[in-house]
A and B are shown apart, each in its own frame.
Chain A
């Protein structure tokens, strides 16, 4: 029976409070998290309208702050640690990140190619973005399905 009890203590779900934890130290971790989160939010707003930084670097900085923000939430609010009791949570996070990466990256890649190949430019330029980098420029009046034929 001791083994179940060991595991019950070892495997703590995100957000579970540790029984032995002092109230003060728990509160301190939340306060540090809140401070960092506020700091990162303020920094994002500042970066968005600053003239100090090179303009093309601003999106990169915003992205960095956003990822750091996620990290702060995971560590201070969801209590994600690298300890052995946290393997399940780390694995779940890794799985989720991988799936989001596959779905998001894959969709962007696929949709970019399909737009390029299939969405023939319409007279009047409603579908302008698709005209760039068309591998096979469809002629006006050509059936749409032939757009991707050049690949095969």
Chain B
């Protein structure tokens, strides 16, 4: 009846995961109880869970990303503190638990921290920057989000029911085959990633279609803001690369469930093929995360330098070059597996070449700041810190791209320090820069600057403090993923890295405090006009938070930096544009399809992990039935009458006019 699931699946003998999960469970139940008692459940269901508004879905993506970043960070705290206690000692985590923690850390940070954060920002910002009212397929967008949430849920369920993979964040066969990993850990990984991967692929299709087909009138490709370009490149990579991951994991699933031999190293299987295919997805994935990050820095640096982006077109070409080149470097993840000198040489050279367009971007950002009136707000601080630290990470990357050097350094903590150096400074810094930059657009008030800057400084110092010792101890020969060690020279560096984690914890706490303080002080932080940063692209042309239809009338774009041109004209003429003729707006109806689909997908995933076949069949049937019901719906859209559109838009026009006149008076005085 329940397949492999018995009471022994709950790890009663391991206090750490159980207590942690109980704590999270209590908090979660508390929040749900609070929401239910306050009577907010209908609101939550109507306005958020069933919403197909790209802004709401984007916010939920970012929220998921934030929570999962903290979850992944708690794994990092465990690993660093464990290693600090594991010199000539067993530490406090038994090996099988330690292995699960480093596997979960990588999986969660990449798939459920960084990815939702970036996809969330793209979802929220891209339609606003393009001057359109929604993404191409609004309901599909909701399905994508909820499937991603399903994956995150499954990974976290593994904490208390069963176990997670002990294979590292890429489940390398033959270790991940049933011979060596008979438990459910790898199955949790497979089903969580497969289900959320479908969501990611659909979200990629959605955003590419939106960018190619749905721009405001006059918004030609070379008038799109940089973030839209990088979002386009990133989503093209999602469409091209995620099917590889899905197919590869499907093959591993067939190996594990039906006794196939794709990667078993017997009966014709080959485990090296898994590495080849996994990294053929894995390296483009690096740029799926990094390209939107580059876009965020472009927007932030240009806005806070008060200048157009330097060499916009070279930036576009660099983005497209990275998009293509990212598919030509994957072998550098397994130089040492034995492809030989010829193959290694070619991929070593391509890996160095891909640093060139990235270098172009670095110079473009620096020249954007040059001669500008730079305002060092929190988003700008993250961006400048990125420029400095990312160059270090990029340089160690080019070093590792040299195959002979890689033979010495692969699998060491030097490698770990390198990829954290690039991925934290690019993706995480960009995530926080984008979070602070677009928060007022999403919620109508800015974040508290003092706490933001505190969070920035502690995070930056902590991050440098953690990873510099890891670079050094990696050069001294310490390999990654060690449960204990006995080399005296390594010990001080490992302790130093652990102290750095404490500084990072302070940074995370500041980030949380910032949010709480800002919500409490929201009246004094209110963004009245919808343009708190003196922005340059169209998202700042509408109110904060934007109405559900984004723009009362479609903006007409006449050049690069669409909103800057409009604003300059308003400033010169000391009046706003002519009031447009308002027309009724048609918006898509909310739909529970995404949530219900994801509910059934969760059943399927959980049932497949525990071999509960009837439940899996039930879940699949339920998901299909949901799809059929949705396909047969009669009403697709609802209409917002023209006078409602006019009323909403006039409110924002009034506050913008007020701000304009105030600025004039100040100038005159």
Contacts and interface: CB of A to CB of B under 8 A. Distances in A.
Interface residues of A, number: 30
Contact of B339 (A11, A113, A145): A113
B340 A151 contact: yes
B341 A151 contact: yes
B280 A106 contact: yes
B270 A115 contact: yes
Contact of B218 (A3, A109, A115): A3
B272 A4 contact: no
Contacts of B272: 111, 114-115, 118
Contact of B338 (A96, A107, A118): A118
B339 A103 contact: no
Nearest to A104: B280
Contacts of B212: 11, 88
Interface string B335-365: 0011111111000000000000000000000
Interface residues of B, number: 30
Interface string B552-571: 00100000000000000000
Contact of A111 (B270, B324, B344): B270
B403 to A, nearest CB: 8
Main secondary structure of the interface of A (DSSP, over half): helix
Contact of B240 (A11, A95, A114, A148): A95
Interface string A66-99: 0000000000000000000000100000011011
A51 interface: no
22 contacts: A1-B554, A4-B217, A103-B244, A106-B328, A106-B330, A107-B273, A107-B276, A109-B343, A110-B331, A110-B339, A113-B340, A114-B337, A114-B338, A116-B340, A117-B338, A118-B338, A119-B270, A135-B340, A147-B338, A151-B342, A152-B341, A152-B404
Contacts of A151: 340-342, 344
Nearest to B273: A111
Interface in A123-152: 135, 145, 147-148, 151-152
A135 B407 CA distance: 20
B236 interface: yes
B576 interface: no
A110 B327 CA distance: 14
Interface string B198-215: 000000000000001100
Given A3-B218, A109-B343, A135-B340, 11 more contacts: A3-B217, A4-B554, A13-B213, A99-B327, A106-B328, A107-B280, A111-B270, A115-B272, A147-B338, A151-B344, A152-B407
Contacts of A31: none
A102 interface: yes
B327 A103 contact: yes
Interface string B320-331: 000010011011
Nearest to A149: B338
Contacts of A109: 343
Interface of B: 212-213, 217-218, 236, 240, 244, 270, 272-273, 276-277, 280, 324, 327-328, 330-331, 337-344, 403-404, 407, 554
A111 B343 contact: no
Nearest to B244: A103
B210 to A, nearest CB: 13
B341 A96 contact: no
A10 B400 CA distance: 48
Interface of A: 1, 3-4, 11, 13, 88, 95-96, 98-99, 102-103, 106-107, 109-111, 113-119, 135, 145, 147-148, 151-152
Contacts of B218: 3
B551 to A, nearest CB: 13
Contacts of A118: 272, 337-338
A29 B327 CA distance: 37
Nearest to A5: B217
B136 to A, nearest CB: 10
Which one of B236, B328, B338 has the greatest number of beta carbons of chain A within 10 Å?
B338
Contacts of A98: 324
A113 B277 CA distance: 15
Contacts of A88: 212
A8 to B, nearest CB: 8
Name, among B217, B240, B272, B340, the residue most crowded by chain A CB atoms within 10 Å (CB to CB). B340
Nearest to B265: A119
A26 B407 CA distance: 60
B343 A110 contact: yes
Contacts of A115: 270, 272
Given A107-B276, A114-B338, A117-B338, A102 B343 contact: no
B338 A102 contact: no
A58 B407 CA distance: 45
Nearest first, the 7 closest Cβ-Cβ pairs linking A and B are: A151-B341, A148-B338, A118-B338, A117-B338, A3-B217, A151-B340, A99-B240
Contacts of A119: 270
B343 A107 contact: no
A147 B272 CA distance: 15
A117 B341 CA distance: 11
